[in-house]
Amino acid sequence: MNSHMNNVPISEFAIVIGGYAFKSEDFIEEGIPVIKIKNIGNKKLSFEETDYLPHSFLDIPNKFKIKFGDVLISMTGSHITQPNSAVGRVARSYSREISLLNQRVGKMQVNPKKCDLGFLYHYMSSDVFRDQIGLRSRGAANQANVSGKDIEGIPIPNFSLEAQRKIATILSAYDDLIEINLNCIKLLEEMAQITYEEWFVRLKFPGHETTPMDSETGLPEGWERRSLLSVAVFLNGYAFKPEDLGENGYPIIKIKEIKNGVESSTPRNEGKDLPKKFIIDEGDILFSWSASLEVVIWQYETGLLNQHLFKVIPIYDIPKSFLFLALRESLPIFNNLTTGATMKHIKRKELDFVKIIVPHKDLLDEFNKFADSTFLEVLNLNRQIRFLKEARDIFLPRLMTAMIDVEQLVLPHTLQVEGGICDEII
């Protein structure tokens, strides 16, 4: 911390409210969502694999209810070197629906006369706070715990309420723009998938009304069903050994990176002795064929392909965007074909079994013009997100340590957003 900035314990600004010990027999399939440790994601709540309680539980005290804007912290987890499951993960609720606070999840309750909740949230998202959690956590590496008192004892910069609000406004502007871009990406990807389904699943493509059908194939004339192995090369990743995992070089892209992108915990390798075919570039199609079946367009820095992932390379006349959407459309079929009791996976022979519909070249080219421009915009938006995160993460510690005079700060011009592609979509 800056020597000119006094620190006080978080308890001067806020307290931690622990969650309620709900009974397992009370949970039901639908109802009021309950936020458990597993739902605390990276700076936001995840509602995947959510448990629910009957609406009668809304009668519990308000302190156990989670509302829009609430700041939550996981009080149990792995060591802080494993950020996706670490103790002390911080998330903010952006849901308009009430949810319930489970045990071992803490909710921050600020004194509004002393503390801005947004400022506290951003401080708790910093590396300084994470390191303090690491110092205070107890237990094994995969089962570390902190108490509410531990969290309340962590030092925090003693800014004035006005300065706190200014810091929160500036940092939130970055988060807001990141969220706008993420929503744009979601809309663009959904639009591309819907168009694919309309043209090639429902066969409502341009000119379908006057296109003759082939009685043998049941498809429009000139169209055909082709196996995935006939339209693409599926390159399995390299089997890296533990001694290959280092801190320098290219990031090694595993299933975790498919979901979360490249993180500080991602292992690296110089790649000097690795065949060039295992290099992944931005825009490549990746298909995780083990554990979790997913298809993505890689949107991060150049990396190295790990085993359990395919790099999918289109061949002949198949455009990359069309192939990506066809693979996404085929995922339900693959999920039905998975084998394995504990870790489900697909076998290479199933790539020959699963077939996609390929239209005639003119229509394929017409679709690809639309799809390529859509995914180019997605890649551009992802680049913007990376730049915004880097800028925010540089700015945050400088603000929190008073390296920058908060009183002189003006909202950066780059965060002024008026209109854009999402407005056109909406």
pTM above 0.75, yes or no: yes
One-letter identity of residue 244: D
Per-residue pLDDT tens digits for 287-312: 998 777 889 999 999 999 999 899 99
Q: What confidence score (pLDDT) does residue 246 get?
A: 92
What is the pLDDT, as a whole number, of residue 260? 81
Give me the mean pLDDT over the 266-278 stretch: 92
pLDDT over 70 for what percent of the chain?
Answer: 92
Mean pLDDT of 92-110: 95
Residue 42, pLDDT above cutoff 90: no
Provide the pLDDT for residue 352.
86
* pLDDT band, very low/low/confident/very high, at 418 (cuts 50, 70, 90): very low
371-411 pLDDT, tens digit per residue, is 999 999 999 999 999 999 999 999 899 888 888 877 666 65
Q: With 80 as the cut, is the pLDDT of residue 347 above it? A: no
* Average pLDDT score, the chain: 89
Predicted confidence (pLDDT) at residue 342 exceeds the cutoff of 60: no
Backbone angles phi, psi at 225, to 5 degrees: -95, 130
Q: What is the pLDDT of residues 140-161, one digit of tens each?
A: 767 899 999 999 999 999 999 9
Query: In three state form, how does the secondary structure of the chain look?
Result: CCCCCCEEEHHHCEEEEECECCCHHHCECCCEEEECHHHECCEEECCCCCEEECHHHHHCCHHHEECCCCEEEECEEECCCCCCCECCCEEECCCCCCEEEECCEEEEEECCCCCCHHHHHHHHCCHHHHHHHHHHCEEECCEEECCHHHHHCCEEECCCHHHHHHHHHHHHHHHHHHHHHHHHHHHHHHHHHHHHHHHHCCCCCCCHHHCCECCCCCCECCCEEEEHHHCEEEEECECCCHHHCECCCEEEECHHHHHHCCCCCCCEECCCCCCHHHEECCCCEEEECECCCEEEECCCCCEEEECCEEEEEECCCCCHHHHHHHHHHHHHHHHHHCECCCCCECCCHHHHHCEEEECCHHHHHHHHHHHHHHHHHHHHHHHHHHHHHHHHHHHHHHHHCCCCCHHHCCCCHHHCCCCCHHHHHC
pLDDT of 207-227, one tens digit each?
999 999 999 999 999 999 999
Q: What is the pLDDT of residue 298?
A: 95
Answer for the pair 308, 291: CB distance below 8 angstroms, yes or no: yes
State which of 83-92, 254-263, 275-284 shows the largest mean pLDDT. 275-284
pLDDT at 338: 67
What span, in angstroms and rounded, lies between the C-alpha atoms of 196 and 206?
12
Residue 406's CB: how many other CB atoms inside 10 A?
A: 18
CA angle 122, 46, 138 (to 5 degrees): 65
Tokens of 405: 């005079």
Q: Which of the residue ranges 168-177, 189-198, 323-332, 347-356 would you say has the lowest mean pLDDT?
A: 347-356
Q: With 80 as the cut, is the pLDDT of residue 5 above it? A: no
Most confident of 52-61, 77-86, 260-269: 52-61
| pLDDT reported for residue 425 | 44
